[in-house]
Structure 1
């Protein structure tokens, strides 16, 4: 989801992170540099770490790092906005982008992103591609590849790309309005066909969004793990976001949590929730092997500023990820 960022706050985050955690939990990485973020999408190429993020000041937000800990703010993709975006934005807004999902596929870069406004189902997921990969920076607009309107059974925001075990590419998306969905996309142009959309998680009480799927082989069985954010984002230190997970042996579900509760029935094992200082963790993404997670949380000691967190993910012998916070 979207938070209006009134200013760019650069924070040096060190031992204060560890102090906000329970003693039994490992501290997030110590990060420096450009740490203001919302809905961080983490990705790693051979020599560079990347964060793609929500922004309201033009284009698709980008950060980069040589080591994953010291972050530099980059130039946004489509920094001036694109003409078709205005059809999905409030009057006067020309470049407001939510929750991008970016990476590389078949040697080229891709970046899915959402255009919408808070509380609206009039939304679109756009796609940008870059020949030669992310670092090439040759981003080309492929237009809106999935849209929604009032009355539809889904909201076309929060896109995330994932490969099934057989190599088929899928797009996870959705927020509130029946929650999270998944659809197969073309191996040629990464766009979805008409139809074929499957609902994989919903929560009528708390709301659910920011779906992100990774696959892992556990004792010879391939599982798909659905990470998601529940609760309310975008309210600074009053945010109630928290991160949950469920899994399935099929990429299209059904997903259940560790207690066996279906994610279509509100299930989800909690991995991170508000601490004393940092509130509303959510907007999570992971490296494709499930080894590292990025997310944002709001700093109650700094006017609720949204801060980047990154942590290693520990996987238990039971095949479930441990709480990260």
Structure 2
């Protein structure tokens, strides 16, 4: 056989062997977009998708679960999680009394009942209010202390009262006023929205206030549960310009690992633009500063840009989404932290639900929350192949409190982000830490928004399946959320 013929035959033979092998190899080793290798995804929180608007439960409290929860406060005791919340109902006037719900897992909630059937004579005489607002509950001295609000809508004629009980589900005994406010009393605080926080030395404090003069903190007598000085409104912690710039629903939690106290407040209107902001301080009495070192006492025109916005009205894809995402509660449960809040469905903003979200911490000690409601997930190690594919992404704009919609970036196997702009990159830098460099020439500092986010498993409530999400901040303290889309 001629040499030239041999070469041709060998070439053909190699092509027959190598080309299919190469094709097979590419197909075999190419990362899958739905790869969850090594990830334990949460189970479905219910047998079928939960209805956000369900008129069938209106008159059956046993089926309320998360429905009609507003201004919730959370406590864990005796192996149960309890949420106490404002009188609230849609379609009919609420039955007076602070609502109580309980859960074993923060996912499945049972309606327990109410505290009281009507406001006290003292609270009525002071405010002419007929319902209870924004309770808070804490365990001290071997019993439970329940703080509640009664107020005249739109005025500072307000009343914070105290009830006590030996059992978390009652019966409760009213102990009278803790602090009261009145139009023309010489103070600025509005006496509602109490939260009791115990500092690192064991001293209890009450942080409170809504609209009007801002958020204040004052010392609590640990033996009585009443204020050490009931005639002093306390120390101002946070303030906005006026009634058109709402601020309310304060909570404080201490993180021993970071050494900071974290103050959360809700901005704007409870039916739609409600959003949660956070700042921190080494001292419980402040000053509380945000990521950009701005003091939460900001009565200027720029107060809309104060505080890290970690939760806001949002919609993933074509889902109606959620409005009024505010008035949060905070819970530390061992090493885990959670944020609860009320949220109103985009289908009908008068239907309010209890949402529970896992809170995670950035590497520089800031709390951020999952973009999806809690379903039992834990932080886990992720690998690059888990992340490749299409995502839905939401940026929580600090300057605009309208509902945020999502975009659809794609994380490519070569480390690029396909988002309509070249040069955007992603990189996994830790156990579950992801760096996103979003190219935005002429707008971002040095043309890039650099987000550092935590990746965690989650339940995709909109599409009813397990997935991965991310949450974190950029170099200016703006929060970004992401959710991986599962292709069928």
Q: TM-score, normalised by structure 1?
A: 0.83
Match of 1:119 in 2: 154
Does structure 1 residue 98 correspond to structure 2 residue 98?
Answer: no
Match of 1:280 among 302, 316, 324: 324
Q: TM-score, normalised by structure 2?
A: 0.56
**Secondary structure at the counterpart of residue 124 of structure 2:** helix
| 4+ residue segments displaced more than 3 Å | 11-17
> 2 CA distance for matches of 1:159 and 1:13?
37
1:156 is displaced (CA, Å) by: 0.1
> 1 CA distance for matches of 2:200 and 2:369?
25
Match of 1:202 among 230, 239, 242: 239
1:316 is displaced (CA, Å) by: 1.3
Distance 1:36 1:12, change over 3 A: farther
Match of 1:170 among 205, 209, 213: 205
1:111 is displaced (CA, Å) by: 0.6
Match of 1:8 in 2: none
Does structure 1 residue 263 correspond to structure 2 residue 296?
Answer: yes
Distance 1:71 1:120, change over 3 A: same
**Secondary structure at the counterpart of residue 86 of structure 1:** helix
Match of 1:215 in 2: 254
Does structure 1 residue 252 correspond to structure 2 residue 252?
Answer: no
1:65–1:72 Cα contact (<8 Å) kept: yes
Equivalent runs, 1:1-325 vs 2, <5 Å: 14=49, 33-55=65-87, 56-90=94-128, 94=130, 96-131=131-166, 133-135=167-169, 137-151=170-184, 152-194=187-229, 195=232, 197-204=234-241, 206-219=245-258, 222-233=259-270, 235=271, 239-265=272-298, 266=303, 267-276=306-315, 277-288=321-332, 291-325=337-371
> 1 CA distance for matches of 2:188 and 2:142?
34
Pairs aligned (count): 291
Distance 1:196 1:125, change over 3 A: closer
1:124 is displaced (CA, Å) by: 0.4
What is the alpha-carbon root mean square deviation over aligned residues?
2.3
Distance 1:46 1:16, change over 3 A: same
> 2 CA distance for matches of 1:122 and 1:196?
14
> 1 CA distance for matches of 2:292 and 2:327?
23
Distance 1:300 1:217, change over 3 A: same
Q: Which runs of 5+ in 2 are unaligned?
A: 1-45, 53-63, 88-93, 316-320, 372-488
> 2 CA distance for matches of 1:34 and 1:200?
31
Q: Please give the per-residue CA displacement for 1:223-258, whole angstroms capped at 9, x wherever unaligned.
A: 10001100011x3xxx21100000000000000001
**Secondary structure at the counterpart of residue 264 of structure 1:** coil
Distance 1:278 1:196, change over 3 A: closer
1:184–1:196 Cα contact (<8 Å) kept: no
1:82 is displaced (CA, Å) by: 2.1
> 2 CA distance for matches of 1:74 and 1:88?
29
2:72–2:342 Cα contact (<8 Å) kept: yes
User: Hey, which of these two has a bigger chunk of helix by percent?
Assistant: 2
1:16 is displaced (CA, Å) by: 8.5
Greater relative CO (CA pairs within 8 A, separation 6+): 1
1:324 is displaced (CA, Å) by: 3.8
Larger Rg computed on CA atoms: 2
> 1 CA distance for matches of 2:196 and 2:332?
10
